[in-house]
Amino acid sequence: MLNAIQADCGQRGSRMAAGRGESKAAVKPAETTQSKTLAGEPSGAVKPKLFMRGQQTFVHSLFRGSTEKMKKNTSYKKFVPELHDIEHTHFYHSHDSHGAPQTYTQPVGGHFHEIVSDGVDENGYPKMKCGPALRFVDKKLNDGTMTRVIEEVKWLTNKPGVMLDDKHSHVMTYLGSEELSQAKINEGYARDKARIGTLPSPEAAEVETANAEG
């Protein structure tokens, strides 16, 4: 009788232990699902819909520098310079076509100028200050590598060891501003490309000219 009772108790204990194991196994998927939900990655999640409120725009301002004289070396001899004064000007765009602010004018004659804001003029329009002429110079470092730096323009003269500083600058005139976007710029590119595509080729133009002369 005692052996039967012990056997029955052992079977009940085994079933209870198995039941507890099944309960733990059943809880694990729920815990895993909950952790994914908290992490923001639930199974079968639907991505939210988005609507665009408009494309980012930027204000582009254009300035033109006064006509000034720069130095031009016309000599073919390396250490025998022949410098001449050449009139020139620069344009300055406040932003490039991607909307990034610009620091320098467009290059002309191998140099450019740094432009900084100088408040407003007597009419309330933006005023810009132009620095001296700058250019890129390639230099070799001590480890033998090359680097490119920006330096003020200097010219070799016919006097040994004497360099001529080109410190000319420009008075910047405000030409106006416009609100632009990348889409608007791309539309302009497309129009220009289509317009160029309608132009006759140089060969066709030569044939038309020859026919007209004949």
At residue 53, the pLDDT reads 64
Full strand arrangement of the beta sheet holding 146-152: 112-120, 126-140, 146-152
The DSSP bridge partners found for residue 139 are 147
- 163: helix, coil or strand? strand
CA distance 210 to 118: 56
Task: Compare 89 and 199 and report the one with higher pLDDT.
Answer: 89
pLDDT for 142 beyond 50: yes
Write 73-76 long-range contacts (CB < 8 A, 24+): 73/155
Tens of pLDDT, residues 55-107: 678 899 999 999 999 999 999 988 888 899 999 999 999 999 888 999 999 99
At residue 67, the pLDDT reads 98
CB 180 within 8 A of CB 55: no
At residue 125, the pLDDT reads 95
CA distance 94 to 97: 10
**Six token digits for residue 19:** 């039941």
- Whose tokens are 């410098």? That residue is 83
Q: Output the CA torsion sign for 90, 95, 96, 102.
A: positive
Tens of pLDDT, residues 16-67: 555 554 444 444 444 444 444 444 545 567 777 766 666 678 899 999 999 9
- Kindly write down the DSSP assignment for every residue of 112-124, as one continuous string: EEEEEEEEE-TTS
